[in-house]
Structure 1
Amino acid sequence: MELLVERTENGVAIVTLNRPEALNSLNNALKVALRDTLQELRDDATVRAIVLAAAGRAFCGGQDLREHVESLEAGTGASLSTVTEHYNPIATLLGGMPKPVVAAVRGMAAGAGASLALLADFRVGGPKTAFLMAFANVGLAGDTGISWTLPRIVGHAKAVELLLLAEPVDAQTAFGLGMLTRLAETDDDVLPTALELADRLAAGPTIAYGQIKRELATGGSGSLADALAVEAEAQATCGHTTDHQHATAAFVQKQKPVFKGA
């Protein structure tokens, strides 16, 4: 199977890209499976955090170019329609996921693979983690939300450099730029570190996390008025949750709150 899904009793869903022999490059079967799985996890209230991981020595090599070349030679147009059919929905689901997403980025994340990682809320890497905005190397523009995420993380000027020059970014540099939010001591520690973080997030106020993500998405590009309007809506939503009511009572009683994600 191109995609593996494991659910833990703590409310974490581990989604693993499983084409290690092809550096987890994205063929149509994997893209469809990832798109449909993310939609299912979004709508599942028992899932309170998601870990996006990969099998083998690379996180994701981006688009499967062998399949892409075959499609180009066939002249069906499927090679380019994949952006609207697969990559855009995947980016929308990941970027708008109303629960925390942690990417365990072990090894290379190239092209759309880098895009997937950067759509996560947290990115954990190791010494051999690297990013490559490889699109221009094959005469393509960016996709899978890279033009939205990358400037927000590294700034406009650095995003231009990374996308146009398409040079690898090593783990230390990526950590300094904010492309990685955690840097594990070894590559074997990447997934355990990501799972530990996901467990912590899954025990938190899930609805509030989703509303905070919504606020940041608006505040990062909208006007102050836009941000204030979303903040008012978000607080109204959170204010009616059981988590807020119980956490407030626990604070008054000097107790540690227990969040149920509702």
Structure 2
Amino acid sequence: MKSYEFLQYSNENGIAEIHLNDPETLNAISPQMGSELLAAIERAEKEARVILLGAKGRAFCSGANLSKGGIDLEDPDRDIGARLETIYNPLILKLRDLKLPFVTAVRGAAVGVGCSIALMGDIIIASDKAYFLQAFCNIGLVPDGGSPYLLARAIGRVRAMELMLLGEKYSAKRAYADGLVTSVVEDDHVDSEAFSIAQRLAAGPTSVYALIKKSAWAALDSALDEQLKRERHLQRIAGQTDEFVEGVVAFREKRKANFQGTLGNDD
């Protein structure tokens, strides 16, 4: 079994649990951690029914690890965006295109690219002590990791501008009120609540979840007529799955559906 230096990985009962595991840096993401996380996500997609991402220690992620990666401040041609192409952008796109439900459990700080990763969750469970922070302006950089896209679409341009231009902490409670996270729970209940949601999703119609996710992400950038055509196409696919058959039979028999489906072709 593959081992990771900066992650903990387990897979049981269809739930792949991944934990960022570099608490001394508050789980700051180095190029190596980013590469490990991408590999772990790809692995989980092949062997699980749902992915749960959390973190060890008192913070979800303090952003990119600026103490590692060989940044030469004396080089006028330095390209800080290079690592986006090689690590962070592929990771964010992988999370967007995941066919499995993706749950994030956020405790403490979720900063910079760590904020982006947390907000990529389909279900986002946050601690009442957690906060999100777009700290890029504080070090003379622009937000990355898809943050402008995610924030502007979730809470609107004006509120997104506030977070990105002022670089101030954005509490989980405020994020919940603005519709950015799924729920806020007591700090010591975050992991158990996220796991409970993951269990529920692991027992659900996996292949249909993939279609739902595809429809929802596409809707962010689609005109209504395009979206309606896409829904018609995806509904045809869903209606041909064993999960649809089981769902209807269970409904008629007045029992809970026992979904056993796997990921199928949604092209």
TM category, shorter: over 0.9
User: Is the CA contact (8 Å cut-off) linking 1:48 and 1:261 kept in structure 2?
Assistant: no
Give TM-score scaled by structure 2 length. Answer: 0.91
Paired residues of 1:72 and 1:79 also in contact (CA < 8 A): no
- What is the DSSP-based 3-state SS (H/G/I as helix, E as strand, rest coil) of the residue aligned with 1:136? helix
After TM superposition, give the deviation of residue 40 of structure 1 in Å. 2.2
SS at match of 2:195: helix
Q: Deviations over 1:30-62 (max 9, x none)?
A: 0110112212222x1x41111110010000001
Alignment correspondent of 1:218? 218
CA distance in 2, matches of 1:55, 1:256: 35
Deviation at 1:77, TM superposition (A): 4.8
Comparing 19-28 and 72-81, the one that deviates more: 72-81
The superposition leaves residues 66-104 of structure 1 with CA deviations (integer Å, 9 ceiling, x where unpaired) of 115x32348595743110011111100112211111111
Of the candidates 4, 24, 27, which is equivalent to residue 24 of structure 1? Answer: 27
Residue deviations 1:137-179 (CA, integer Å, cap 9, x gap): 1111111111221112111111111111111011211221122
- 2:18 is the counterpart of 1:15: yes
User: Any idea what the Cα deviations from partners look like across 1:97-137, whole Å, max 9, x if unmatched?
Assistant: 11111111010000011010011111111121011011111
Q: Kindly indicate which of the two structures has a greater share of residues assigned to helix.
A: 1
Q: Which letter maps to 2:185? A: A
What residue number does 1:179 align with? 180
Question: Structure 1: which 4+ aligned runs deviate by more than 3 Å?
Answer: 73-79
Q: How does 1:68-79 map to 2 (within 5 A)?
A: 68=69, 70-73=70-73, 75=75, 77=78, 79=80
Matched, 1:192 2:192: yes
Whether 2:148 is the aligned partner of 1:144: answer no
**Bigger shift: residues 110-119 or 238-247:** 238-247
Matches within 5 A, 1:134-173: 134-173=135-174
Contact 1:218 1:226 in 2 (8 A): no
- 1:126–1:171 contact (8 Å) kept in structure 2: yes
What are structure 2's unaligned runs of at least 5 residues? 263-267
Matched, 1:256 2:256: yes
TM-aligned CA deviation for residue 65 of structure 1: 1.1
Percent pairwise identity: 35
TM (norm. structure 1) is 0.93
What is the rounded CA distance, in whole Å, between the counterparts of 2:196 and 2:72 in structure 1?
43
Paired residue for 2:95?
Answer: 94
Give the match's secondary structure for 1:142: coil
Deviations 1:188-236 (A, max 9, x none): 2111110001111111111111111111112222111210221122112
Following the alignment from structure 1 to structure 2, what is the Cα–Cα distance between the partners of residues 26 and 52? 14
SS at match of 1:210: helix
Distance 2:178 2:194 in 1: 19
Query: Secondary structure at 1:66's aligned position in 2?
Result: coil
Letter in 2 for 1:216: A
Instruction: Give how far 1:13 is off.
Output: 0.5
The letter of the residue matching 1:12 is I
Q: For this pair of structures, how many residues does the alignment match?
A: 257
